[in-house]
Amino acid sequence: MFSDFFRYSVNNLRKRRLRSWLTMLGIFIGIASVVALVGLGQGLENAVLGQFSSLGSDKITVQALGGSFGPPGSSSIAELTLKDVEVVRRVKGFEVVTNRVLKSAPVEIGDQLFFEFVASLPQPPEERKLVIDTLKIKAEKGRLLKPEDGHKVFIGHKLANDKLLKKPIEPGDSITIQGEKFEVVGVMEPLGSPQFDRVVLMNEDVMRDLFDLPEFVSVIVGKVQNIEEIDRIQEDVKRKLRKERGVKKGEEDFDVRTPKQLLDSFRTIFTIVQAIVIGIAAISLIVGAVGITNTMYTAVLERTKEIGIMKSIGARNKDILTVFMIESGLLGLVGGIIGIILGVTIGKLTEIGSKAAMGTTLIQANFNPLMLIGVGIFSFIIGVISGYLPSKRAASLRPVDALRG
């Protein structure tokens, strides 16, 4: 019996192909938006959280609150200094503590001018190893910087192969930073991060002289000896820095964080963003649901006599209800399936396009099969719910009234 109802419903939808497609349009646009945006959001979240996870759970970072990469003294922010680094080093429980200097600067390569991040590499062996191992820095061409290197730099893969350049940068080429020439000793293997893949690395002493930054520190990084003591060490760092910088608890002008706290912050941000995105896409689904309701009401009006004939030959109210509910459910289900296919396609094309255009692996489309199945079921339910009232009206028609039209 149900198979007969199903075939009958499919035939009715086929007879009105244009109306059926227009009705499904709102559904599959909404579903495609949800699938593509959630997939891209999940992929981006996984990529970003993966990069933070790669930093290791045994690190503590210290930064000035609201710190920028602009020139020192350009804002009222109390910057970190080498004195703060020494304070952190004196905290019991660290295996090694280092600092980084990060600045945005004009970089001239041939006849092209770029503004890129310049970052320091510490020269003490243990500190240098911490930075290189944490960021997974490897040479694709040439070699890594040596502690004794003077006016020499190690640059990111994306910068070395920028499309605006006449030819890729090779080891031995020269670039100009802040008006001074530097020899490129190596090109970094791609890290998949837009920022790191365009970075310019130089030794810390050279960078401090170049930018006239004798004491300035962008970030302090410490590796703890025992991961189980990281919370205690974090609190000790806060307490000693408050004392050194003369600030009260709750009024700190610096931020001390562990990777876990950074991950939690990013997860919260991604959850909020995805909720907003889904909310926006839901508007399209509501429009699609209203479209199904309108289409089914129109179908009931057009097929009033048909309903009367069916009832006069023995069709029950629940049979009429079933036929129209199947039709509305199919509109939702087919619209959902098309939306899923379209959403996955958009997500994958965006991923491929971002890799080709920006060389980044941060933008990835990650689709959970269970999520896709759930979306398909959800679209079917939307169709059924949207068609319930028109179906109920069709089922409640009396045979005599229906035959009169």
Which has the minimum average pLDDT: 9-13, 29-33, 236-240, 256-260?
A: 9-13
Pairing label, strands 152-155, 200-203: antiparallel
**Per-residue confidence (pLDDT) for residue 69, from 0 to 100:** 47
pLDDT at 71 over 60: no
**Residues facing residue 182 across a β-bridge:** 175
Mean pLDDT of the 277-288 span: 80
**Per-residue confidence (pLDDT) for residue 135, from 0 to 100:** 87
* Region for residue 220 given its phi and psi (left: phi exceeds 0; alpha: psi -120 to 50; beta: otherwise): beta
Mean pLDDT of the 220-230 span: 92
pLDDT at 359 over 70: no
Residue the block writes with tokens 């001074």: 180
Please give the Cα distance from 89 to 208 (Å, whole number).
Answer: 21
Binned at pLDDT 50, 70 and 90, residue 68 comes out as very low
Please give the Cα distance from 114 to 279 (Å, whole number).
Answer: 39
Q: Coil, strand, or helix at residue 189?
A: coil
Which has the minimum average pLDDT: 83-92, 109-118, 233-242, 394-403?
A: 394-403
Determine what percent of the chain is predicted with pLDDT higher than 70.
Answer: 91
Query: φ and ψ at 255, to 5 degrees?
Result: -130, 125
> pTM (2 decimals)?
0.62
Mean pLDDT of the 283-297 span: 84
Please give the Cα distance from 206 to 210 (Å, whole number).
Answer: 6
The rounded mean pLDDT for the chain is: 86
pLDDT at 73 over 50: no
**Per-residue confidence (pLDDT) for residue 282, from 0 to 100:** 79
The tens digit of pLDDT for each residue in 314-345 reads 878 888 888 888 888 999 999 999 999 999 99
Helices (H), 196-316: 204-211, 230-245, 259-302, 304-312
**Per-residue confidence (pLDDT) for residue 402, from 0 to 100:** 62
